[in-house]
Chain A
């Protein structure tokens, strides 16, 4: 296929692709995102391929490996077109029956449908499932529909049409549109993208760069990974439009090394776009030229900070610089550079396609559009959800997420990763947008939403984040490098029951110093997990220091395991599995834990069928 020389050739090609694959054609779409892949979706694809071939259906029914659908909890997911029916937890052994019944006879296999655990109702279509019903999918919309390795799939659904439109509008008008849409950066701070673009464009220079920040370092967030894996061309198109508006001719995508599949899919997408003349010189005959390089990260959280990221691309250690000057004025190799993250770039094509007015009508006044959250932790429906800004936490956690598993009690939701904070039950009706979250002591961050139940200890969680941040501090500022180390030590003391009330006060004081005196966002927000848990869960801290108790039963030094003689039936399972031989007892008789030997690994509690192991 030759490169498109102008917009008409692209449009003609689209017509051809659409005609070759009519809407009512049968297709099977197997999710091949990282989650479903781990559940065996590649084996499933092979099985479908074989089965279709065996029945000589391989030319009639299209088999597609798509990006992440978001509902990772129920993977592997398989969608059937044109009906849009969803099967979940599909296994290789189901394939023959599926082809025979569902594909050939168009019969539904009941057991593979999603069943709502609360109502018991079964749902056929993806859009009827509560997990999807309450979402507004703008960026993730096409993830389940297209094969991310096929540029034709993207072109078929209107891909690169926004680029054509932008090239016709001229850079100023494109910029005006993005500004009017009030698009805010989805990477954390929520800075208005249009203003950043404008600053970069207005800085006098012979060269400008655009960068896509795909160093999604917040543990517990994976929307950028899913967008890159599932719809890489949407990011490429967004960057193209941005580069055109800003006047840049070179771009970088900085991807975490922990996301090998995203790198692979992006490489394929870039190659295809180059071959089709959508990257390179004189794109679609417009005179505008642009190309993109991929840079892999090395596993440093701080490289999500833009000046550290730039240092890393330049071949240096990822240490942040003082700002201003901001990268939009003086960035990569000293040139004006515009950095946005994956989700922000992926929002650009729909804005150009449907207009700023439409985009700004979604969400709230201050935070327009949608936001993708990764809803994870102690929640029934884990996965990626995309909702309009301003939805309440309660709607996200309970209506979409289906609440807490095992009938446990909700305790808190942690948003914004290590820079964010925890919000308790009484804040569940807070609308989720950039400004409200900040006001409540948390932050949007890149959209991680970790749900915690009564079994999560908030002191342990704060300790966890500080351990994380202490290792990830680049070491530049004393307050961050040493302050976080000391803070972590203090929390270890509290968790071990060695703390006093004075320790809590010291933690609070030190946290404020680290916040106020560190250069970059890593240090200045590092105290958030401590300060927000102290703000809402001070009683838990106090239980650790005053009563020497861990109410959630997590902190090892403060808990003991014992076997309830009334419930133990002497099945020996715990005795056999205990790695320390700390459990004694004969078959059929009540077992006992020898406390001296017990290392509190919790295996006995895991394996007990009778729920006889008690943690106190």
Chain B
């Protein structure tokens, strides 16, 4: 087994008790916080650590929307698709993000810079429509402001 991923994964796993199946979702969160996605190697180590089958680990990891089995971009642009955001125009924001970045929702740009994601509701409905970029909540969003925001991040990277 390789290397860097295994080392990082071990560091995450040692904070969780062994043979404790109920820790699985928490473990997956911690692995994802570390790698921004769930590498297969880390999942195998988690299954060993918690003493649950790899099939079950994979089953849970692929069941939940919050987990990602493919590498994600450095910047995550999450469009809230909750009902309150929807009636205030969230679908238009998603389309704008897709146009600006040239990828569809759920995809990552080839340079691994941006990923567009949807979330069902983050409970900040009063600010809708809402886009979360790198953990920052941007309320009362418009397509135009979203473009500006994305451009700003891209420019920063260019420098």
A-side interface residues toward B, CB under 8 Å?
Answer: 34-35, 37-39, 72-73, 75, 216-222, 225-226, 257-259, 293, 295-301, 312-318, 374, 376-378, 382-383, 414, 417, 448, 450, 452, 456, 461, 464-465, 468, 471-472, 474, 577, 579, 601-603, 606-607
Is there contact, CB below 8 Å, between A72 and B126? yes
CB contact between B92 and one of A450, A471, A602 (< 8 Å): that residue? A602
Residues of B within 8 A of A378 (CB): 87-88
| Interface size bracket, B side | 35 or more
A573 to chain B, nearest CB (A): 10
Chain B 103-125, CB-CB to A under 8 Å as 1, else 0, gives 00000000000000001111111
A397 to chain B, nearest CB (A): 14
Q: Given A316-B56, A601-B95 in contact, is the A296-B125 Cβ separation under 8 Å? A: no
In the complex the two chains form, is A468's CB within 8 Å of B120's CB? yes
Q: A35-B126, A315-B21 are in contact. Are A377 and B63 (CB under 8 A)?
A: no
CA distance A159 to B64 in the complex (A): 37
- Taken together as a complex, chains A and B put the C-alpha atoms of A415 and B157 apart, in Å, by 44
Q: Which residues in A have their C-beta under 8 angstroms from that of B87?
A: 377-378, 450, 452, 456, 461
Q: Is the pair B124, A603 in contact by a Cβ cutoff of 8 Å?
A: no
User: In the complex, are the beta carbons of A464 and B83 less than 8 A apart?
Assistant: yes
Give A326 Cβ to nearest chain B Cβ, in Å.
21
A296, A376, A377, A577: the one contacting B25 at CB < 8 Å is: A296
Q: What are 28 A-B interface contacts by the 8 Å CB criterion?
A: A72-B126, A219-B84, A222-B124, A225-B123, A226-B123, A257-B29, A258-B123, A295-B26, A296-B25, A298-B25, A299-B64, A300-B63, A312-B60, A313-B22, A314-B21, A315-B24, A315-B50, A315-B52, A317-B59, A374-B125, A377-B88, A377-B128, A378-B87, A579-B96, A579-B99, A601-B92, A602-B89, A603-B143
> With the chains together, A321 CA to B67 CA distance in Å?
23
| Option from B63, B96, B125 in Cβ contact (under 8 Å) with A317 | B63
B127 within 8 A of A: yes
B50 CB to nearest A CB, Å: 7
CB contact between B84 and one of A226, A376, A607 (< 8 Å): that residue: A376
Residue numbers in B under 8 Å from A450 (CB-CB): 83-84, 87
Is B64 a contact partner of A382 (Cβ separation < 8 A)?
A: no
Query: Which of B122, B123, B125: most chain A Cβ within 10 A?
Result: B123
Report A-chain residues with C-beta under 8 Å of the C-beta of B64.
Answer: 297-300, 318
Structural contact, B123 and A222, CB atoms closer than 8 A: yes
- Report chain A residues within 8 Å CB of B21: 314-315
- A-contacting residues, B18-73, CB 8 Å: 21-26, 28-29, 50, 52, 56, 59-60, 63-67
- Distance in angstroms between the alpha carbons of A314 and B56 in the assembled complex: 11
A607 to B145, CA, bound (A): 11
| Complex: A293 Cα to B126 Cα, angstroms | 30
A384 to chain B: closest residue by CB: B126
Pair A259/B126 contact, Cβ less than 8 Å = no
Q: A72-B124, A222-B125, A299-B66 are in contact. List 11 more A-B contacts (CB 8 A).
A: A34-B137, A35-B126, A38-B130, A220-B82, A221-B123, A297-B25, A298-B28, A316-B59, A377-B87, A450-B83, A468-B120
B56 close to A315 (CB less than 8 A): yes
Would you list the 5 A-B pairs with minimal beta carbon distance, nearest first? A298-B64, A299-B66, A222-B123, A72-B126, A315-B21
B84 touches A220 (CB 8 A): yes
A232→B89 CA distance, assembly (Å)? 33
Q: Does B155 contact A (CB under 8 A)?
A: no
Closest partner residue, chain A, to B82 (CB atom): A219
Q: Does B81 contact A (CB under 8 A)?
A: yes
CB neighbours of B52 from chain A (8 A)? 315
A217 contacts which of B56, B89, B120, B144 (Cβ < 8 Å)?
Answer: B120
**Which residues does chain B contribute within 8 Å of A225, judged by CB atoms?**
123
Say if the beta carbon of B10 comes within 8 Å of chain A: no
- CA gap between A259 and B137 in the complex, in Å: 12
Partner of A295, one of B25, B96, B120, B122: B25
Known: A222-B123, A315-B50. A603 touches B144 (CB 8 A): yes
**A32 CB, min distance to chain B CBs, angstroms:** 13
**CB contact between B126 and one of A219, A382, A602 (< 8 Å): that residue:** A382
Interface assignment of B75: CB less than 8 Å from any CB of chain A: no
A-side contacts of B60, CB under 8 Å:
298, 312, 315-317
CA distance A417 to B21 in the complex (A): 32
Expressed in whole angstroms, the minimum distance between the Cβ of B81 and any Cβ of chain A is 7
Contact present for B83 and A298 (CB under 8 Å): no
Set of chain A residues within 8 Å of B66, measured between Cβ atoms = 257-258, 297-300
Q: By CB atoms of chain A within 10 A, which of B22, B29, B92, B120 has the most?
A: B120
Enumerate chain B residues within 8 angstroms of A37, measured Cβ to Cβ.
137
B82, B138, B143 interface centre (most CB from chain A within 10 Å): B82
